[in-house]
Structure 1
Amino acid sequence: MTRSATFDAAIARQAVEWWVTLQSGDATETLRAACARWRAVNPEHERAWLHIENADRRMRHVSGTLGAAVAQAALRAPRSRGRRMAVKAIVGALFVGTGVWVANDPMAVQWLRADARTGPGERRTLRLADGTTLVLNTRSAVRLSMDGDVRRIGLVEGEIMVTTGKDAAHVPPRALIVATTHGTLEPLGTRFVARRIDGGRDACVQVFEGAVRVVPQGAPSDDRASVRIVRAGEQASFSARGVEAALPLAEGDGAWADGMLVTVDMRLDTFLAELSRYRRGYLRCDPAVASLRVSGTYPLADIDAILGVLPHALPVSVSSVTRYWVTIGPSRSVS
């Protein structure tokens, strides 16, 4: 697949959100100007937007389903489940349906086929038939296969916390595997987090109880040189190439499962990138303040409230044209 036919998954979704917003009755000139700024800030934004316009022209006369999805999304409240489902249908029609998607995220098409998923700011708890508890963080999707000889959870995208069940109906209990494009996680009676964000090159496992065997993609599970066991209190990044050395868990790791974000001396741009996963729209960090540090405990239920307190803790200002476009920049009192 050539570069011209590939798009970043997050940018594709943002472009569709903007496109749908501009179809609604709320499409003021202010909103149109904010969308224009989003398109101008990154060449990939403009490329995704032009792809939508071109695909829309090609499909307008042949796809009543696409038109219905646009109408449904534009008429619904931005945070409603109905709008989220309509937006996903549009993404599928305009990107997956035309044979193009994300080069660095080969499982992106699986998002539309996921057995469970969450939208921005949404958290969902599932209790599986084998007794396993699965918590999906914001913007996460999984595929489940629990009927065979192996219990399998496929992490398509995002972040999940797994508390393994005893599988009491089977003697002996079946193996449980969490699969990612980077490799598999084989829990050894445990509670752990698996994270794969926006098609990143690496995935991460954080172990809170028990231990997890990490097997990079393509490596046999008995290959001691490739496989690493990550134990309680440790975390490790891994890719298809191998597993990094385990590091201690950081303070607040896993707090998202309780609706909290805990930071200790985190760069502001990293902090805002994490917050952006929990809200719709574009959250921009001015490079002039990107290296400022943030520490604290923040409730994830209201991201705008968190943004509102930042100027009281740091020399920054928060400006917004609309709720979809927010910029964190230098304090207006600082030259």
Structure 2
Amino acid sequence: MLNKPSADVIEAAATWYIDLREVSADDPLHQAHQHWLAADPSHRLAWKRVEKLQQACAQANDSISSSTLTNARASRRQMIKMLSVMLVAGASGGLAWQYRESAYPLMAEYRTGKGKSLQVTLADGSQLQLNTDSAVDIAFDAAQRQVILHQGEILVTTETDPQQRPFSVQTRQGNIRALGTQFLVLSDSHLTQVKVLQDAVEIRPAKGSEQPVRLNAGQQLQFTDHAVQPAHTIAGQPQAWIQGLLVVSDWRLDQFIEELSRYHPGKLSCDHTAASLRISGSFHLKDTQLILQNLTSTLPVRIRYFTRYWARIEAI
């Protein structure tokens, strides 16, 4: 008799489900998923739980795709954790319905998959550039111009508005008001990071004081829903992703792999010994597999592939 799948296997099944939703039916990721299923009986057992949960939600007239995993206000990590909890608890229709109100929609007005980007021209002429795995909604009316960043990263370049409506970006943690500017916003379920490239912005945490914090060109900071961290000078080339590049200088390898994972279709990890190695360079994000392969020629590491899209970097 098969044992229950471990927590790691459950999380892997949840990750596969989230990632497969982002690709076409003929994408190689589907083949990688089949290899993963065949690698261990517990993988198939965990995937059966995913299928049962889908069936339970369908019987409740509420599929996973339209409810439990469809709130773009949640980060990818948050959605994976949410699904993992449901898979551990069991795939009953009652449980699916219980999570309905606390789960978030996956689809927004504009959204990118992993490794993808998107440029959007707004009604006022302002420009948005969405980085990998990002989701936004646009809320323009007679009184304001607002971009709601549910998850991910955007570059905002504002235009002057004849109606003089304020322009702002809203995240789970608070509001960033543009003062005629160009700036980057990166947000997840825990915090928001802002980097100002031109002019300035004003930041108001959702639960903080009413007095906004001004951030000027060349500065960056992070904030939660109740506090703003001190500002400091922008380092490196934070907008290099617009040219399809990841530029790093003396980063720890685990930090590099974590950042690369944002663009890689699948699962990446780094063992403890390799984590402290240092890396610098400019990397083309179009081919994350090639980046991984090149690591072995510059660092004392090897890449252990479980599937094409599931790899771990190990020290040698």
Give the TM interval when normalised to the shorter protein.
0.7 to 0.9
Deviation per CA, 1:28-77, whole angstroms, max 9, x where unpaired? 8743255778899xxxxx6xx6752541453576769789xxxxxxxxxx
For the structure 1 residues 59 and 97, does the alpha-carbon distance in structure 2 shift closer, same or farther, using more than 3 Å as the test?
A: closer
Among 285, 291, 297, the residue aligned to 1:300: 285
Contact 1:118 1:139 in 2 (8 A): yes
Equivalent position of 1:14 in the other structure? 15
Among 98, 106, 112, the residue aligned to 1:111: 106
Moved more, 236-245 or 134-143: 236-245
Contact 1:34 1:325 in 2 (8 A): no
Aligned length: 275
Question: 1:51-90 to 2 correspondence within 5 Å?
Answer: 52-56=50-54, 58-59=56-57
How far did residue 147 of structure 1 move?
A: 2.6
For the structure 1 residues 207 and 61, does the alpha-carbon distance in structure 2 shift closer, same or farther, using more than 3 Å as the test?
A: closer
TM-score under structure 1 length normalisation: 0.72
Counterpart of 1:150, as a letter, is: Q
Aligned: 1:100 with 2:99: yes
CA distance in 2, matches of 1:294, 1:192: 27
Among 175, 178, 189, the residue aligned to 1:187: 178
How far did residue 218 of structure 1 move?
A: 3.3
TM-score under structure 2 length normalisation: 0.76
Contact 2:32 2:308 in 1 (8 A): no
CA distance in 1, matches of 2:34, 2:157: 49
Q: Secondary structure at the match of 2:305?
A: strand
CA distance in 2, matches of 1:311, 1:285: 13
Equivalent position of 1:72 in the other structure? none
For the structure 1 residues 309 and 26, does the alpha-carbon distance in structure 2 shift closer, same or farther, using more than 3 Å as the test?
A: closer
Deviation per CA, 1:5-24, whole angstroms, max 9, x where unpaired? xxxxx978514157889x99
Counterpart of 2:218, as a letter, is: G
Equivalent position of 1:246 in the other structure? 231
Among 130, 151, 154, the residue aligned to 1:157: 151
CA distance in 2, matches of 1:325, 1:180: 31
Contact 1:315 1:330 in 2 (8 A): yes
CA distance in 2, matches of 1:218, 1:12: 36
Aligned: 1:32 with 2:52: no
For the structure 1 residues 97 and 144, does the alpha-carbon distance in structure 2 shift closer, same or farther, using more than 3 Å as the test?
A: farther
Aligned: 1:212 with 2:201: yes
Q: Secondary structure at the match of 1:192?
A: strand
CA RMSD of aligned residues (A): 3.5
Counterpart of 1:299, as a letter, is: H
The ranges of structure 1 where at least 4 consecutive aligned residues each deviate by more than 6 angstroms after the TM superposition are 18-21, 35-40, 60-67, 94-97
Deviation per CA, 1:183-212, whole angstroms, max 9, x where unpaired? 100011110000013x2x221000000001
For the structure 1 residues 39 and 31, does the alpha-carbon distance in structure 2 shift closer, same or farther, using more than 3 Å as the test?
A: closer
Contact 1:110 1:156 in 2 (8 A): no
CA distance in 2, matches of 1:117, 1:109: 14
How far did residue 99 of structure 1 move?
A: 4.3
CA distance in 2, matches of 1:125, 1:219: 32
CA distance in 2, matches of 1:287, 1:38: 25
For structure 2, the residue ranges without an aligned partner over 5 or more in a row are: 1-10, 66-82, 84-90
For the structure 1 residues 122 and 167, does the alpha-carbon distance in structure 2 shift closer, same or farther, using more than 3 Å as the test?
A: same
Contact 2:32 2:307 in 1 (8 A): no
CA distance in 1, matches of 2:245, 2:42: 31
CA distance in 2, matches of 1:99, 1:64: 11
Q: Secondary structure at the match of 2:202?
A: strand
Q: Secondary structure at the match of 2:116?
A: coil
CA distance in 2, matches of 1:18, 1:131: 33
For the structure 1 residues 39 and 235, does the alpha-carbon distance in structure 2 shift closer, same or farther, using more than 3 Å as the test?
A: farther
How far did residue 151 of structure 1 move?
A: 0.4
Equivalent position of 1:262 in the other structure? 247
CA distance in 2, matches of 1:148, 1:329: 55
Q: Secondary structure at the match of 1:32?
A: helix
Equivalent position of 1:234 in the other structure? 219
CA distance in 2, matches of 1:162, 1:58: 41
Aligned: 1:313 with 2:308: no
